Structure 1
Amino acid sequence: MAETMSSFWGPVTSTKECCEENYIHSSYIAELYNTISNIPTIILALIGLINALRQRFEKRFSVLHLSNMTLAIGSMLYHATLQRVQQQGDETPMVWEVLLYMYILYSPDWHYPSTMPIFLFLYGAGFAIAHSVFHFGVGFKVHYIVLCLLCTPRMYKYYIHTQDVLAKRLAKLFLATLMLGSLFGFCDRVLCNEILGWPVNPQGHALWHVFMGFNSYFANTFLMFCRAQQREWSPKVVYLMGVLPYVKIEKPKSQ
């Protein structure tokens, strides 16, 4: 795609995979819509973080919300610059975040509590080093999908063992936003030549960012509910201003 104005960041060195044309609106932001579409993720993660801290959830959930924010910021830097270093700063935290989800999902029933975080930490560090050296392309995507699939059985188990209707709705919203976001992202990549001929570019990859921001929030909130049930904290799903769901708990006085 031809650049319409000079680039503040220099020539594009990352792998171009999105259908938004470069430097249309500013010489400082390569892909404007793909950059600003990460803002909802940051806001939702901040709301989740405040709730986790205010109600004193386990630290793993604060780290999870912070990882969502970090991932969104990395994505903003990547789409703003389209540089190889920033692309890896976007992709590597994606893997780290899935490893954190794996820990939250599987650790309650793990017989050797100290081994899982050590293994996941070493795995994440090893991947970061390997990715910086070998610059995985398709291999990164396959690896990321496999890690996500490893989380699926446990997520389904949590769903079928949850009786609360509003909590189940969170899981359904998680699935719906995942499917919608994937559909827009897929069309943006596969149908790019046709889309560029349309009067208006729907910015499918930007919509992917927005839907995945909500997807992460719904996933985190559902997992917070399930963990609170395990800890017998009497969780219930309530709505912020009648719109955004979050988990409210009542810890026993002994805790």
Structure 2
Amino acid sequence: MGAFDGAFDTLRGDQVSSGFWGEHTSTIDWCENNYAHTPYIAETVNTLTNLPSILLGLYGFYAVVKNGLPTRFAFCYLGLSLIGIGSFGFHMSLRWEWQLMDELPMIYVVSYAAFLILETSPGLKLRYGVLGPGIMVLWDVFVTTSYIYLPNPVYHQIAFAIILITTTARTAYLAFKLPPNHPSKVKIGKTMAWGVVTFAVGFAIWNVDNLFCPQLRMIREHVGPLGVFVEGHAYWHLMTGYGSFLIFTASILLHLCIKVSPDAYTFDEKAFFPVVYPLHSIDRKKVKENGHSR
């Protein structure tokens, strides 16, 4: 890390700064006490709460393949799994290289979602040819390179927030333009709203964890094993993983309504883990016959 070696040591406070995976080189250490449960995992609760996101991403990928949706949507869900794997390694080891595997895929996945939501011309062919993917890749390369040379967590959060807010605003605009009172519009709106609210509440709980860390540590010591239920960053993992899954599902249906037809696909908005599927098998067949599986 060069000039930044030791620059963020004060963030660790009285935390243990080394363990089974060696010296902690990450720029962030969280409120959970290090190695409180096992000598092999720095932050046990923060590590294990990434498993649902990994599994949700794999489930979404399976649903895309099973239901015959264009393959491009499978990468959204796989991206969720990739973020979960990176975060798992980061909290397990508190190593800088694993921190990158957690934070950079967040940029990649949301920029990919932004690329998809900008492709709004009829049909599933790429509207801008290679230009759209090229701009996305250039943005990802820029953020990756600059973050490696300027490893400040605030910089990453700002870059992530810019692309996330832009994508969310664009998605809301496109959803508003769907035919009035169409069932898909209601489904997309409710599911997207639940996803955003879940994401936001998780973010708020995480910040409570940051602001009141000393008090929360005292509570954890007092309640013993039940202290796992007041690990705020763990709720961030669970809620953003689920919120992202809902947002991806709503965005996929929105995309297909615009690119194919508002009447060709749907999902069960009452399901806890909704996935998009064709209303009729003939719709799936048409997509494949027209070469729109990508």
Check conservation: 1:105, 1:154, Cα contact below 8 A. yes
Check conservation: 2:25, 2:96, Cα contact below 8 A. yes
Cα distance change on mapping 1:243 and 1:138 into 2, 3 Å: closer
Deviates more, 1:49-58 or 1:159-168: 159-168
Displacement of 1:173: 1.2
How many residue pairs are counted as aligned between the two chains? 254
TM-score (norm 1): 0.91
Which amino acid in 2 is paired with 1:173? W
CA distance in 2, matches of 1:146, 1:167: 23
Check conservation: 1:5, 1:27, Cα contact below 8 A. no
Displacement of 1:105: 1.1
- Name 2:152's counterpart in structure 1: 136
Structure (1 or 2) with the larger CA radius of gyration: 2
- Name 1:166's counterpart in structure 2: 187
SS in 2 for 1:213: helix
Cα distance change on mapping 1:185 and 1:19 into 2, 3 Å: same
Cα distance change on mapping 1:43 and 1:239 into 2, 3 Å: farther
Structure 2 counterpart of 1:98, from 110, 122, 129: 110
Displacement of 1:167: 2.9
SS in 2 for 1:246: coil
Which amino acid in 2 is paired with 1:161? K
CA distance in 2, matches of 1:121, 1:221: 24
Gaps in structure 2 of 5+ consecutive residues: 1-12, 288-294
CA distance in 2, matches of 1:4, 1:150: 39
Pairing of 1:68-83 with structure 2 (within 5 A) = 68-83=80-95
Pairing of 1:191-206 with structure 2 (within 5 A) = 191-198=212-219, 199-200=222-223, 201=227, 202-206=230-234
CA distance in 2, matches of 1:77, 1:210: 16
Gaps in structure 1 of 5+ consecutive residues: none
Residues 183-203 of structure 1 deviation map (CA, whole Å, 9 limit, x = unaligned)? 111111111122112134401
- Is 1:236 the counterpart of 2:266? The answer is yes
Which amino acid in 2 is paired with 1:141? Q
**Cα-Cα RMSD:** 2.2
TM-score (norm 2): 0.80
Displacement of 1:236: 1.9
Check conservation: 1:167, 1:237, Cα contact below 8 A. no
Q: Which runs of 4+ in 1 moved over 4 A?
A: 1-6
CA distance in 1, matches of 2:95, 2:25: 5
